[in-house]
Amino acid sequence: MPRTVIRSVRPWGGPSSDVVLDDAVVREVVPAGEAAAGEVEVAGDDGILVPSFSDVHVHLDSTRLGLPFRPLTAGPTRWDRIMNDRASWRTAEAPVADRATETLRRMIALGATRVRSHAQVDADSKLEKFEGVLAAREAHRDAASVEIVVFPQVGIHLEPGVPELMDEALRAGGDLVGGIDPCEIDRDPRRHLDTVFGLAERHGKGIDLHLHEPGELGLFSMSLLTERVRALGMQGRVSISHAFALGSGLPGVERAIDGLAELDVAVTTIAPGGRLDLPLERMVTAGVRVGLGMDGQRDYWSPWGNADMLERAWMLAYTQGWSRDDLIELGLAVATWGGASVIDGTTPRLTGVGHRPGLAPGDPAELVVLRGETPTSAVMDRLPGRTVIHAGRVVAADGELV
Amino acid sequence: MPRTVIRSVRPWGGPSSDVVLDDAVVREVVPAGEAAAGEVEVAGDDGILVPSFSDVHVHLDSTRLGLPFRPLTAGPTRWDRIMNDRASWRTAEAPVADRATETLRRMIALGATRVRSHAQVDADSKLEKFEGVLAAREAHRDAASVEIVVFPQVGIHLEPGVPELMDEALRAGGDLVGGIDPCEIDRDPRRHLDTVFGLAERHGKGIDLHLHEPGELGLFSMSLLTERVRALGMQGRVSISHAFALGSGLPGVERAIDGLAELDVAVTTIAPGGRLDLPLERMVTAGVRVGLGMDGQRDYWSPWGNADMLERAWMLAYTQGWSRDDLIELGLAVATWGGASVIDGTTPRLTGVGHRPGLAPGDPAELVVLRGETPTSAVMDRLPGRTVIHAGRVVAADGELV
C-alpha cells in the first residue's frame, strides 16, 4: 500500500497539518509542510479532517434513492409499513441489488466508509433482499466495510421457516443476528430472544436488535435482553437499535443506561423526528457505545433519508437541542467514531464531550475531509467537496467515487 | 404592472399549467400552452408552484450569516444568551443594517417574500437594532414585504426607558408590539401585559409575544393574554411566538388550543429541536392560524438558521414525525400560506390537511417555483433553482435577486 500524505488539513479543526497514512493506518500527524513526500499526495486544502462516517443503522435493501419519487402508500402503524413494503418491493423499477449498490455508492461518496446494514429475511422475500445487500457490499468492497445484520423484520415465529432462513443467511455471509420488538411483533419475548441468542451462539455472531417498543414496555424488553447478555457472556457483542424507550424520560431510564454501560451493550440511533431523542450526552458519558444511522432511505416506509451522514449528524444535533460547539462536535464524533466503536468492539469508545478521536498515529485510516471553518460550521453548512479515505486510499472526492 | 405569464408550472404539483399574473394577483390558471402571450414570460420548466414562503418569526437584527463563523460563547439559560448578545453585538464585523440586509437578501433569494422580523429594543441598544431592520426592509422594499415587531427582548420593566423606546419605535415604523415571557423575564405578568396591550391600543397596532415559558406556566401566561384579547376586542390581531407550552402534552393544552381558535390568536413556530413540537395538525384543524419562522440565524444565540424556509419546512415535517405526503404538504402550506395568514388577518386561514391554498384567481401573486417531482419530494430534496415572485414580478431566480 503506497505511503499517502494528506497535505494541509486541520484535524478536528485544529492547526493545519500533514497526515501520513501507511498500511491503512494513520502513521503520523505533523505541522503542515513538514511531512516528507508521499507516494500519493492528497490536497487537503485546509479542510477539516475527521474520521469517516459510520452509518450503523441503514436498510440498504429497501432504498429507492435515485428512483422516481413514490408517494407513501402505507398506513400509520409499523405493521402497515411492513405490509406496504411487502406489497410493493417486487415492482420497484430496479432489483434490490442495484438499488442497494447505488445507495451505498452515494453514502461512500458523501463520506461513509463503515456501514452496518440490515437485510430483511422473511417468508415472502426469503433471501432475495439479503443477497441484494451482499451484492452491494461486494460491488463496493474496496471502498467501504459493510456489516450485514440478518434481520427478521416480520418477526421470527409468525410465519414459517424464518429461523431456518436466518440460519442460512448467517452461513452465507451475514455478520450479525437481528431481532425486532420481542413483545410487540412475535408477542412472545422469551421465545423471540431465545431464538436470537441461540442463533448468535450457534454461529458465533453478535446481535443487533431493533427496539421501537415505547416506555415501560421497551425497558422491559431491554431488561430481558441484558439479562441474556450477562448470562451468556455476550458483553461487547450486542447492540440495540433505536431504543426509543431511553427517550421516554421515565425513572427507569437511568438504571437502564447504567446497565447498558456495565454490559457494554451498544445503542444505535437515527436521530428520530416526532419524539424526544435519547439522552445522548448522558449515555456517552456513562460509557455506552453509541452510533448514528440513516435508517430507511426514501423507501416504502417513509420519504426520509438521503445517504448523507453529515446531514444526519446535523439532524442529530438539532433533535438533541444542541447549540454549543462542543456538543455539536460530539454529534459529529458519534456519527463517525461512535459508530466505529459500535461496529468493532475493539475500537475505544467515545469518552465524552471534548473527545476528538480517531486521528492519532495507529488509528485506522478511515477519514473524511470536510469543508468549513470549524467542525460546528462544517455540520451547519454540510458542504460538498469532501474527500473520503478508506483503508488508507482515497475512495471518493467531490461527490464521486474514484 | 406588466401582465406576466408563468409557463408550464405545476400548482402544488398538479397538472402543468400557465399561470397569468396581473396587478399583483393571480389572474387565471389554464392548462399549459393555453395562456395568451404575456408582456413578461417566465419559464416554469415544469417546476412546482406554491405560494412564496412567509418567515413569520425571524430576528434580522442579530444575524451573522455570511460573517466568519463564531463559536457560541453563551451559557445555557435564556438570560445567558441575552447577555451574550449584549456583550458581543457591537463588535460584529458589520453593522446591524448591513447584516440584516444581507440575510434578508438570502431569504428572498431562497423564496421568502413575506417576513415578520423582531427588532430588539432595550436600554443598551436603544433603537439601533430596530433602525438596522428598518434599513434592511427599505433596501429590499421592492422584493419583499417586511413587518417589524418592536421587541423588548430584555423585558419591559427591568431597565429604565424601555416603554418609551418602544413607543418611539412604533411611531418610527414598527408594525407590532412585542413582548416576552411575562412571568419569567419581568416576573410581573400583569404589568408586562398591561404595557404591551396599552402600547397596542395607543398605536392601533397588533401584538406578537414571545412565549417560551414551559408547561403550566406557559398555559397560565397564555390565559392572561387571551383574556385581554377578549376584553379589548383584539381578535385576529395577536400572535404568540413559540408557545412551547402547547407542546407539553398537558391536559390544559386542548382547551388552550380551542381558546386560541375562538379568539383568533395566531401561533408562530420555529420547528424547535430538543423538545416535542406543537400539535400542529390539531391546531390547524381547530382553526388556529399557524406560521413558521427561522428564528435567529447563526447569531449570538446559536449556530442554527440559514435563510432557507424550504429547509425549515423540511425540519418542521421531521420534528413533527411526519412521513405521509399530505402531512408534509401541510408543512409546506404552513411555511407559505400559513404564515401569510398570520401576517394578514384577512388572508383565509388553512383549513387542514389537503388544503392547497394560494394559487387561485384573486390570490396574491406571491409565489415560488420549486424543483421536484411532487411537493413532498421538493421538501425532501430542497433543491436550488427556485424562481421567486413578489407582487407579480420575478424578484429572484437561481439564488440571485434580479
Q: Tell me: do B388 and B298 sit in the same domain.
A: no
Q: Tell me: do A393 and A286 sit in the same domain.
A: no
**Chain A partners of B373 at a C-beta cutoff of 8 Å?**
68-69
Where chain A has pLDDT below 70, the residues are none
Q: How far apart are CA B270 and CA B278, in angstroms?
A: 10
The verdict on residue A93 lying in a domain is yes
Element (H, E) at A261: helix A252-263
Q: How far apart are CA A333 and CA B214, in angstroms?
A: 31
pLDDT, position B295: 98
CB B346 within 8 A of CB B393: no
Q: Tell me: do A256 and A301 sit in the same domain.
A: yes
Name the residue among A71, A323, A377 with its Cβ closest to that of B302.
A323
Nearest alpha-carbon partner for A297 in A285, A306, A284: A306
Provide the chain A residues 353-372 that lie in CB contact (below 8 A) with chain B.
372
Report the gap between the CA of B46 and the closest CA in chain A (Å): 16
pLDDT, position A358: 97
Containing structural domain, residue B178: 57-343
pLDDT, position A75: 93
CB of B315 within 8 Å of any CB in chain A? yes
CB of A79 within 8 Å of any CB in chain B? no
Q: Is the ipTM of this complex over 0.95?
A: yes
Q: Tell me: do A11 and A103 sit in the same domain.
A: no
Count of all residues that appear for chain A in the document: 402
Rg (CA), chain A: 20
Count of H-run helices and E-run strands, chain B = 12, 17
The verdict on residue A350 lying in a domain is no
A296 to chain B: closest CA residue: B323
pLDDT, position A344: 84
Report the gap between the CA of B273 and the closest CA in chain A (Å): 5
For testing the chain A interface, which of B10, B62, B69, B377 should be mutated: the one with the most A CBs within 10 Å? B69
Q: How far apart are CA B336 and CA B50, in angstroms?
A: 8
Judged by CB atoms closer than 8 Å, whether chains meet at B298 and A325 is answered as no
Of residues B345 and A222, the one with the higher pLDDT is: A222
The verdict on residue B73 lying in a domain is yes
Judged by CB atoms closer than 8 Å, whether chains meet at A302 and B323 is answered as yes
Q: Tell me: do A339 and A360 sit in the same domain.
A: no
Q: Tell me: do A78 and A137 sit in the same domain.
A: yes
Predicted confidence (pLDDT) at residue B92 exceeds the cutoff of 90: yes
Name the residue among A303, A376, A381 with its Cβ closest to that of B71.
A376
Judged by CB atoms closer than 8 Å, whether chains meet at B318 and A315 is answered as yes
CATH classification at residue B133: 3.20.20.140
CATH classification at residue B388: 2.30.40.10
The verdict on residue A188 lying in a domain is yes
Name the residue among B320, B374, B380 with its Cβ closest to that of A273.
B320
Predicted confidence (pLDDT) at residue B315 exceeds the cutoff of 80: yes
3-state secondary structure at position B123? coil
CB A246 within 8 A of CB A267: yes
pLDDT, position A1: 76
Q: How far apart are CA A306 and CA B332, in angstroms?
A: 19
Of residues A276 and B289, the one with the higher pLDDT is: B289
Region B3-12 average pLDDT: 98
Contacts of residue A263, defined as CB under 8 A and 6 or more positions apart, other chains included, come to: A226, A229, A230, A235, A238
pLDDT, position B364: 97
Q: Cell for B224?
A: 392572561
Residue B344: which pLDDT band, with cuts at 50, 70 and 90?
A: confident
CB of B68 within 8 Å of any CB in chain A? yes
The verdict on residue A171 lying in a domain is yes
Residue % of chain B over a pLDDT of 90 = 97
pLDDT, position A225: 98
Name the residue among A68, A71, A276 with its Cβ closest to that of B325.
A71
Q: Tell me: do A34 and A72 sit in the same domain.
A: no
The verdict on residue A286 lying in a domain is yes
Q: Tell me: do B389 and B251 sit in the same domain.
A: no
Q: Cell for A147?
A: 456489516
**Chain A partners of B318 at a C-beta cutoff of 8 Å?**
273-274, 304, 315
Judged by CB atoms closer than 8 Å, whether chains meet at A376 and B274 is answered as no
**Chain A partners of B72 at a C-beta cutoff of 8 Å?**
323-325
pLDDT, position B276: 81
CB A278 within 8 A of CB A256: no
CA angle in degrees (0–180, nearest 5) for B24-B293-A322: 160
Q: Tell me: do A152 and A31 sit in the same domain.
A: no
Provide the chain B residues 319-358 that lie in CB contact (below 8 A) with chain A.
319-325, 328
Phi and psi for A385 in degrees, rounded to 5? 85, 30
pLDDT, position B50: 98
Pairing of strands A48-51, A367-370: antiparallel
pLDDT, position B145: 98
Nearest alpha-carbon partner for A334 in A319, A359, A361, A316: A316
CB B257 within 8 A of CB B285: no
Judged by CB atoms closer than 8 Å, whether chains meet at B325 and A72 is answered as yes
Judged by CB atoms closer than 8 Å, whether chains meet at B328 and A274 is answered as no
Q: How far apart are CA A358 and CA A346, in angstroms?
A: 13
Tens of pLDDT, residues A38-94: 999 999 999 999 999 999 999 999 999 999 999 999 999 999 999 999 999 999 999
Strand partners, B22: B25
Tens of pLDDT, residues B176-189: 999 999 999 999 99
pLDDT, position A334: 98
Nearest alpha-carbon partner for B15 in B29, B31, B3: B31
pLDDT, position B286: 97
pLDDT, position A226: 98
Report the gap between the CA of A29 and the closest CA in chain B (Å): 25
Judged by CB atoms closer than 8 Å, whether chains meet at A303 and B72 is answered as no
Q: How far apart are CA B361 and CA B356, in angstroms?
A: 13
CB B49 within 8 A of CB B42: no
Q: Tell me: do B177 and B43 sit in the same domain.
A: no
Question: What per-residue string of b and e applies to A206-238 under the rule 16 or more CB within 10 Å gives b?
Answer: bbbbbbbbeeebbbbbbeebbebbeeeebeebb
CB of A315 within 8 Å of any CB in chain B? yes
Among B343, B366, B387, which residue terminates a domain?
B343
Amino acid identity for residue A40 in this structure = V
CB of A273 within 8 Å of any CB in chain B? yes
B68 to chain A: closest CA residue: A373
Judged by CB atoms closer than 8 Å, whether chains meet at B298 and A273 is answered as no
The verdict on residue A146 lying in a domain is yes
Q: How far apart are CA B315 and CA B328, in angstroms?
A: 10
Q: Tell me: do B330 and B369 sit in the same domain.
A: no
CB neighbours (10 Å) of residue B231? 9
What average pLDDT is seen over chain B? 97
CB B62 within 8 A of CB B368: no
**Chain A partners of B381 at a C-beta cutoff of 8 Å?**
306
Cα-Cα-Cα-Cα dihedral sign, residues B303, B308, B314, B319: positive
- How many distinct structural domains can be found in chain A? 2
Q: Cα A48 from chain centroid?
A: 22
Predicted confidence (pLDDT) at residue B210 exceeds the cutoff of 90: yes
Count of all residues that appear for chain B in the document: 402
Provide the chain A residues 295-314 that lie in CB contact (below 8 A) with chain B.
298, 301-304, 306
DSSP string computed for A113-173 = EEEEEEEE-BTTTBTHHHHHHHHHHHHTTTT-EEEEEEE-TT-SSSSTTHHHHHHHHHHTT
The verdict on residue B71 lying in a domain is yes
Q: Tell me: do A81 and A179 sit in the same domain.
A: yes
Tens of pLDDT, residues B379-402: 999 999 999 999 999 999 999 999
Phi and psi for B230 in degrees, rounded to 5? -65, -45
DSSP string computed for B35-60 = SPPPSEEEE-TT-EEEEPEEEEEE-T
